Amino acid sequence: MGGLKNVRNRRDDALSRVDWKRLESLLVVYYRGQGYEVEHCGTGIAGRRFDGGVDLKLRKGDEYIVVECKHWNAKQVPHNPVHQLLGVMVNEGATGAILVTSGEFTAYARESATKLGHVQLIDGDALRAMIGPLPEPEVGELGPANDHTPMLRPRRRDEEGRRHGDVPGDSPSLGQRKDDLVWKIAAGIVIGMVVLGALRSCVASYQERQAMAQFAAEVKRITADPDPLGLRSVATRGQPNPSTASQRAGLPLNPLRTAGNIATIQGAALLGDEEGARQGSRRMADDMRRSMKLTDPSRPIDHEAARAATMQVSGVHSVAWIDANNLLIYVQRNEFRSQSVIDTICHQLEPLGDTLGVIVNLKTRAATRPDERGTMSRNCQLASGDAAMFQKVHPNYDPPPEVTAAYRASQKPQLDADRKAQGEAQRIIEATTPEM
């Protein structure tokens, strides 16, 4: 107990002087008054030697709350009982937990309760407000003066008399003294074995935590690397640089990556790393979503930003959205109507959001032959002809006649200016070329 902190405000009132049995009984009365069905299972009830970490069990409707009492007046309750009560709550299948003290909690205990959740802390001030003022306890209800100094059993009068020779009695014989010495030596050996076992357990627990931390770090490294065994470099030898390739969806789940994610979640849970477990769950859910060809609703692509990014691609003449998913792009010449241009456009759109929600449709601006008039369509992350869930592909999309007429009318001034410039250039060439 030497490592515990003293309370900042030592109270001296009726509540501080009642024993822990009386305190449990007061809480039973209070919670029954709040409408709870109370089961008193602490050591304060007759016949109980161990309480299993729970003094009261409260039930009301769907609520099931476990309560632990710490009648500490001199020392602050640390964070350990908070963690222990949370474990008891989980094992009991309870919906909540309450840790009560007649004194104070350490700052770390309060921080732990806030971080872990589900555990309510009731300190001495809140407890006194709950149960109200108390009369001075009777002699049988008095508690120890210091909650970490056990109450001394009064010596019997004859024992005290024998010690000083006032009361006649048999003095211990030599055999009795030897027996006492043997028992003391045996007790010392047992205590030493218990302490040694505890030390070994602490060392083993520390080594286990260190090994688990190294394991979790290694698993995180593996799951962060999409190709931990170096198989991609063999499979893609002689192929384009994969760093420039677009994201892919609709592929089967990678068993190694899935196993790594599961191991990461389990390791983080054992270490109490909530953020690590959350990240592993997020990665696993993302892999499953992409395998099912489901778009990420949290990363939609802004249409105007996508148009501006697509206009920067070489060969693109104009861009328009047909609907929420289909992006119609007119290219300058037919050689730009290719899968490589679709890859370039999708790679340009990746920083804006989830490209699984985009289908690129390429058409040639000035198509002259029948084979140039078709539409080349593909989802950014899927094979040609495939679409994400709930998407609609527009093969060989042709805009409505009124849209085509409006587009041609908007382009007519530019075409007239181009023709005039070409005619003027031809006239200058003819005028400056000498006759042969």
Task: Quickly list DSSP for 226-238.
Answer: S-TTSHHHHHTTT
In this structure, what token pair is assigned to residue 160?
């005290």
Q: Which residue has the tokens 């593996």?
A: 222
In this structure, what token pair is assigned to residue 259?
């196993």
Domain 14-141 = CATH 3.40.1350.10: yes
Q: Which residue has the tokens 């005039």?
A: 420
Residue 310's alpha-carbon distances to 39, 52, 61, 333, 358, in angstroms, are 69, 66, 59, 16, 12
3-state class (DSSP) for residue 40: strand
Residue 6's alpha-carbon distances to 35, 184, 431, in angstroms, are 36, 34, 106
Contact assessment for residue 282 and residue 237, using Cβ atoms and an 8 Å cutoff: no
Q: For residues 201 and 182, what is the distance between their CA atoms, to the nearest angstrom?
A: 29
Residue 141's alpha-carbon distances to 134, 284, 289, in angstroms, are 12, 58, 63
Residue 380's alpha-carbon distances to 104, 251, 327, 377, 393, in angstroms, are 61, 14, 11, 9, 12
Q: For residues 290 and 355, what is the distance between their CA atoms, to the nearest angstrom?
A: 11
Q: Is 270 exposed, middle or buried (0-12, 13-18, 19+ CB in 10 A)?
A: middle
Paired residues of 63 in beta bridges:
60
Residue 402: φ, ψ to 5°:
-65, -35
3-state class (DSSP) for residue 358: coil
C-alpha gyration radius of the chain: 40
Q: For the chain, what's the residue count?
A: 436
Closest Cα partner for 309 from 349, 340, 337? 349
Residue 355's alpha-carbon distances to 21, 143, 331, 345, 374, in angstroms, are 66, 70, 20, 10, 23
Would you write out the chain's pLDDT as a tens digit for each of its 436 residues?
557 889 998 888 888 888 888 889 999 999 999 999 999 987 656 455 555 679 999 999 999 999 999 989 889 999 999 999 998 998 999 999 999 999 999 999 999 998 888 899 999 999 999 988 888 776 555 555 444 433 333 444 444 444 433 333 444 555 566 667 767 787 778 787 777 777 777 766 666 666 666 666 665 665 555 555 444 443 344 443 433 445 678 788 788 788 877 888 877 787 778 888 888 888 888 888 888 888 888 889 999 999 999 999 999 988 988 888 888 898 888 888 899 999 999 999 999 988 888 999 888 887 777 777 788 888 898 887 788 877 776 655 566 666 566 656 666 676 677 677 777 777 777 777 666 5
Sheet holding 326-331, edge to edge: 316-321, 326-331, 359-364, 376-379
DSSP structural state of residue 243: G
pLDDT of residue 215: 62
- DSSP of 53-100: T-SEEEEETTEEEEEEEE--SSB-B-SHHHHHHHHHHHHHT-SEEEEE
Closest Cα partner for 303 from 352, 237, 250? 352
3-state class (DSSP) for residue 396: coil
Q: For residues 174 and 334, what is the distance between their CA atoms, to the nearest angstrom?
A: 115
Residue 251: φ, ψ to 5°:
-90, 155
**What's the predicted TM-score (pTM) here?**
0.38
pLDDT of residue 398: 62
Residue 247's alpha-carbon distances to 119, 242, 345, 351, 356, in angstroms, are 44, 10, 12, 11, 8
Determine which helix (DSSP H) or strand (DSSP E) holds 189, and give its type and residue range: helix 174-224
pLDDT of residue 275: 84
